[in-house]
Structure 1
Amino acid sequence: MSENQQAETSESATDQTSEKLVELAKRRGYFFQSSGSYGSVGGFYTFGPQGAALKGNIEDAWRDRFALAEGNMEIDAPTIMPEPVFEASGHLEGFDDMLIECPDCGTSSRADHLVEDNTMYEDAESLEIPEVEEIIAEYELVCPDCGAGLAGVAVEDFNLMFATNIGPGDSQPGYLRPETAQGIFVEFPRLKEYARNQLPFGVTQIGRAYRNEISPRRSIIRTREFTQAELEYFIDPEEDEPDLSAVEDVEVTLYPATEQNDEDGDEIQTTIGDAVADDVIASPWVAYFLGVAKPWYEAVGVDMDRFRFRQHLSGERAHYASDCWDAESEIDGNWIEMAGFAYRGDYDLSKHSEHSGDRFTVFKQYDEPKTVERATVDPNMSYLGPEFGGDAGAVVEELEALAARDRTAFEGDTVEFELEGETYEIPVEKTGFAVEEQTESGEHIIPHVVEPSFGVDRLVYTVLHHAYREDEVDDEERTYLELEPEVAPTFVGVFPLQSDAELEAQADEIVDDLREAGLSITYDDSGNIGRRYRRQDEVGTPFCVTVDYETVEADETTVTVRERDTTDQKRLPVDDLAETLSAIREGDLEFEDL
């Protein structure tokens, strides 16, 4: 890795915006560390009233775009699954992070993070353990807690799975899922029936996942429990191609692996269509979903000047991915991953088919029937039974598999095969081996999988960070969140100007009307009107409606509507208020055009 692959600033150097944002989040009910009364536990956060609403709105926006608009199914699978699922998926063997333990105080740290925080190397996760150990020694890195030297301390793999037991007594081992994807894959034999065995089709899921992070940090950016929104799209790799015409003109900032490995490499500006034509993005399916995701990210409030797609280097790709691109956002001068777009091939379905014995295939109908040669066996069980006893059935299975993969093995007088590590020979005449012509109308294929996987919590943090603003209004400092109306936790604040029965009664009626129209409303009659405006600005409420004496005394019932970003105010008729504000939220009307 070249030395130009370095962080623009250290991840440990948090700027004032992040400090202020975390404080705002705690104060205004966006998010805060869980179980505070018991001293808290690292990596677990509670989303307060504002945060839960923002998170829910983002999830709804994702569901609208990636499930409903694309015609995909949605499921809700358990978060705990039995051990064989993760043996098949490879998570028990290959889902590790690099652990280094301080010899003096016992503090555990992620070795690759120590390297990234304190050296010129940005993507230490892609390095092998011996390389990381060499860098730790070269830079004389120390324990972040006690300052003890870590040179010469072994770096080890640490599995991130949370283990549990299913049932009492002699219970079955299980694990909390590290990704929602496995809940989709294990149910494929049934889900394909719901899709009428027709490829391509997609299955989505939004839910919790769990990873026992070595050193969770930076509030909700790296936690041990988090929410994913994932789409598993099943395709026929030989026939199915995406319709790129819908996204080919989408402009994107890409950071390919070739540029990352080049000393003079840099991000490139291109379009989805050109990136596919130039082989910058190898998979048209991955390119399609990048093209869908980019405008969606912009719509929910990600700053496009601080957004890019970065290709995984070969050493950092997950065990199941042949290629992967991350959607990244810039926070405090550092790039954080918000989503991964991976081409998983047939890895997952093949593994679950192999381990479960169920059929994870789709029947592909031929345009016309085909005549093919098939090697078959019809063993003489009166010979195999006495010869192999209880293993006779396993022998038959091995002979069938051998005939399918290598018919030349049956060309001699005897056929050789292995069973439980031992080699056996039996006469070919006892196997009933034959090559027959068969007419087939189709074949069973294992679909390939394209996966856009979104981290919801990191996106929530990005949206808040990119929306954070400070300015002055009437010579007074103001903090506000410039959240998009589609995702803002509260859309309208309703205030009676003063404590007055008539004003409060009118305000109550407006609240009822706006809620009936499906708008999220908050009512506030505490403090002067300026302070109420500031409170709503700070939580990102796009509009405030003030009921004043003109509302109840004038011939036409009107209210003052104030816009958050500009603080401009307009008087609008109460009778049209719900319809007008709904049109603004849907993007059909601009406040400035009223």
Structure 2
Amino acid sequence: MSFEEVCSLAARRGFFWNAYEIYGGVRGFLTWGPLGTILKRKISNLWREMFVYKHGFVEIDSPAIAPYIVFKASGHVDHFKDSMVSCLSCDRKYKADQLLEEYGIKGAEGLSLDELARLIEEEDVRCPECGGKLGKPTYFTTMFKTVIGPYSKNEGFFRPETAQGMFTEFKRVYTIAREMFPIGIAQVGRGFRNEISPRQGPIRLREFDMMELELFYDPKNPTCPYLSEVEDLKINLLPAEEIRKGEEKALRIAVKEALERKYIYSEWLAYFMALAQIFISKLGIPVDRQRFREKLPEERAHYARQTFDQEVLLSRWGWIEVSGHADRTDYDLSSHMRESREDLTVKRRLAKPIIVEKKLVKPNVKEIKRSFKDASNVLRELSKRSVDEILKELEEKGYIEVLNHKLDSKFFEVEVKKEKKIFESFVPYVAEPSFGLDRVCYSTLEYALRKKDERLILSLPPYIAPIEAAVFPIVAKQEFIEIASAIRDALINEGYKVIFETKESIGKRYARVDEIGVPVAFTVDGKTLEDKTVTARDRDSWRQFRIKMERCADFVKLLIKTGSFDEALRKL
């Protein structure tokens, strides 16, 4: 179905619509309605089951705002920016590489400002709104800036990804989890990006939900214990070397072969990519409408050694990313270690103990007090320095500068000790699957919406349908309403969400619940009074079957478990 048809249904039936409509709306912001919020929750819970709970990983919920230092350390302050171009006539602003892509010019992502300017000039790219000439591209920081508290110097940012929360809290979570390793830390929450020109509805938002997992593992033992479960699964892969050749068609390749051919570097990354294909397929999006496109070096984020975008094919926008799979190595933890001076390493047991020499350094307090009037301040500053820092400066410079004093080796006592070493420290590597929940939800809706005899049907898989069942008395007579009400109450008591309606014809009621994806409608009719059976109507085929009215809850349970109306009937 088309983008316009999906958005029309979504707004009319309460899935999503443009936020702040009474003020004309603001691009890049959506309101998810009563049905949309349930759909998002069910999809995120399915993701948790597949990516978090299955593996015994943990989930946290960190703040959406972080101080400046966090994003300075992570590299976002210096690297998280987009190329922007302005119309010289109407002053509209656009993301330069995205605008070029819309003009059919591929490969613009990652180009320098000069390269973008040359392409805009050569291809005579104009303002989509007024046709005016475009100015020279500039950079625009896409993080929302804020001030924390009343002090203007206390700068912060709304997070563009939830990932940094997992990195800054790694040490505590690792300790709480009794040093389980490898360890996966997940987070489902809001991200914020100050997009230059979000003109793609739910595809490009300024505020959105993310489902992210950071898997921390030992680079010397990078094997994934779950790989055997998916190694024969075939995925649609578009590696960088094929893209460089101008190839657009993805390779159909088994996960194991993709690793053997070094298309994918990390076993963990390959495993999560396979799991992502299964996850998106469970939402009703066929495998032949999915692919994994490797980002070229100039397209990759600053923190990644390798990245694959999982893309799905959409009616209006073509191939659109729904998840990113990044090999982040030790970039993030190492960066935060340098900036915070906190130890974020993990210990591994050595195969054989070794004897190592360890240097211990302590200030020569007597000498410092004899030499400096502000000795107490000097000692306080020295206490902030690590042993490694002091030794490094002494070896490289021959002295350490503290409060404008130069302290050479006479101000320190260095002792060498031999000790048996059983463990060694290392900085974990990270494999990251990251999903945009809003994009996933929209894609799910587009693939679920179809027409049958000019009527719209939202064929969502039963386990993510916002409303699990409908119960209708065939006509608004008291004897039918009483039985239907009892069935409704029984279903609600089992935890299901139920639509109960008595107004309008039964055909109109069926049509309405078909449009919002209710997988089954139970109807109380004349035969119910005779034999205590009701009709169970299949949303997708419109077929009807009679089942005992006391089995309605059992049927819904089977329908959700199997995902198939026919299978649920067979097992009832």
Aligned CA RMSD, in angstroms, stands at 2.4
Which residue does the alignment assign to 1:19? Answer: 4
Counterparts of 1:93-492 in structure 2, within 5 Å, are 93-121=78-106, 123-150=107-134, 153-168=135-150, 172-243=154-225, 244-264=227-247, 266-332=249-315, 334-383=318-367, 386=371, 390=377, 400-401=387-388, 409=395, 415-416=397-398, 419=401, 428=409, 430-433=411-414, 435-472=416-453, 477-492=454-469
Deviations 1:408-429 (A, max 9, x none): x47xxxx53575999x976545
After alignment, is 226-235 or 302-311 more displaced?
302-311
For residue 318 of structure 1, what is the amino acid of its counterpart? Answer: A
In 1, are the aligned partners of 2:400 and 2:407 still within 8 Å (CA)? no
Q: 2: distance between equivalents of 1:182 and 1:257? A: 27
1:71 and 2:56 are equivalent in the alignment = yes
Correspondence for 1:532 among 496, 509, 514 = 509
For residue 465 of structure 1, what is the amino acid of its counterpart? Answer: E
Q: 2: distance between equivalents of 1:420 and 1:527? A: 84
Which residue does the alignment assign to 1:575? Answer: 550
Relative to 1, partners in 2 of residues 1:264 and 1:399: Cα closer, same or farther, differing over 3 Å? Answer: closer
After alignment, is 458-467 or 368-377 more displaced?
368-377
For residue 167 of structure 1, what is the amino acid of its counterpart? Answer: G
SS of the aligned residue for 1:527 comes to coil
1:550 and 2:527 are equivalent in the alignment = yes
Q: 1: distance between equivalents of 2:72 and 2:564? A: 53
Deviations 1:503-544 (A, max 9, x none): 111111111111222222111222111111111111111111
After alignment, is 452-461 or 296-305 more displaced?
296-305
CA apart distance, 1:483: 0.8
Deviations 1:121-149 (A, max 9, x none): 1x322222221111111111112222111
SS of the aligned residue for 1:109 comes to strand
- Give the unaligned 5+ runs of structure 2: none
Relative to 1, partners in 2 of residues 1:428 and 1:421: Cα closer, same or farther, differing over 3 Å? Answer: closer
Deviations 1:229-285 (A, max 9, x none): 111111111124102111101111001111111034631001111111111111111
SS of the aligned residue for 1:126 comes to coil
Deviations 1:6-51 (A, max 9, x none): xxxxxxxxxx711111111111111001111122111110111111
SS of the aligned residue for 1:583 comes to helix
CA apart distance, 1:82: 1.8
In 2, are the aligned partners of 1:30 and 1:48 still within 8 Å (CA)? yes
SS of the aligned residue for 1:212 comes to coil
SS of the aligned residue for 2:513 comes to helix
In 2, are the aligned partners of 1:322 and 1:344 still within 8 Å (CA)? yes
Q: 1: distance between equivalents of 2:412 and 2:489? A: 80
In 2, are the aligned partners of 1:258 and 1:265 still within 8 Å (CA)? no
Deviations 1:62-96 (A, max 9, x none): 11111111111111112122222112112111111
Say how many residue pairs are matched: 564
Q: 1: distance between equivalents of 2:138 and 2:30? A: 28
Task: Report percent identity of matched pairs.
Answer: 36
TM-score by length of 1: 0.89
Deviations 1:334-370 (A, max 9, x none): 1111011111111111122222232212233435532
Q: 2: distance between equivalents of 1:542 and 1:27? A: 19
Q: 1: distance between equivalents of 2:403 and 2:81? A: 30
Which residue does the alignment assign to 2:19? Answer: 34
Relative to 1, partners in 2 of residues 1:419 and 1:343: Cα closer, same or farther, differing over 3 Å? Answer: farther
For residue 29 of structure 1, what is the amino acid of its counterpart? Answer: G
For residue 232 of structure 1, what is the amino acid of its counterpart? Answer: E
TM-score by length of 2: 0.93
Q: 2: distance between equivalents of 1:570 and 1:63? A: 34
SS of the aligned residue for 1:205 comes to strand
Relative to 1, partners in 2 of residues 1:240 and 1:195: Cα closer, same or farther, differing over 3 Å? Answer: farther
Relative to 1, partners in 2 of residues 1:134 and 1:381: Cα closer, same or farther, differing over 3 Å? Answer: farther
Counterparts of 1:514-529 in structure 2, within 5 Å, are 514-529=491-506
Which residue does the alignment assign to 2:475? Answer: 498
In 2, are the aligned partners of 1:519 and 1:582 still within 8 Å (CA)? no
CA apart distance, 1:479: 1.2
Q: 2: distance between equivalents of 1:398 and 1:137? A: 54
After alignment, is 519-528 or 224-233 more displaced?
519-528
- Give the unaligned 5+ runs of structure 1: 1-15
Q: 2: distance between equivalents of 1:560 and 1:116? A: 52
CA apart distance, 1:310: 1.0
For residue 540 of structure 2, what is the amino acid of its counterpart? Answer: D
In 2, are the aligned partners of 1:492 and 1:541 still within 8 Å (CA)? yes
Correspondence for 1:563 among 538, 542, 545 = 538
Q: 2: distance between equivalents of 1:589 and 1:576? A: 17
Deviations 1:355-390 (A, max 9, x none): 223221223343553211234444534445636965
For residue 32 of structure 1, what is the amino acid of its counterpart? Answer: W
Q: 1: distance between equivalents of 2:400 and 2:11? A: 63
Deviations 1:394-447 (A, max 9, x none): 57877943676699x47xxxx53575999x976545544455422223233221
Q: 2: distance between equivalents of 1:198 and 1:370? A: 25
In 2, are the aligned partners of 1:377 and 1:399 still within 8 Å (CA)? no
For residue 322 of structure 1, what is the amino acid of its counterpart? Answer: R
SS of the aligned residue for 1:490 comes to coil
1:59 and 2:44 are equivalent in the alignment = yes
CA apart distance, 1:453: 0.7
After alignment, is 327-336 or 168-177 more displaced?
168-177
Relative to 1, partners in 2 of residues 1:285 and 1:147: Cα closer, same or farther, differing over 3 Å? Answer: same
In 1, are the aligned partners of 2:222 and 2:268 still within 8 Å (CA)? no
Relative to 1, partners in 2 of residues 1:558 and 1:109: Cα closer, same or farther, differing over 3 Å? Answer: same
Q: 1: distance between equivalents of 2:519 and 2:36? A: 16
CA apart distance, 1:308: 0.8
For residue 507 of structure 1, what is the amino acid of its counterpart? Answer: A
CA apart distance, 1:591: 2.2
For residue 568 of structure 1, what is the amino acid of its counterpart? Answer: R
After alignment, is 123-132 or 536-545 more displaced?
123-132
Q: 2: distance between equivalents of 1:500 and 1:399? A: 82
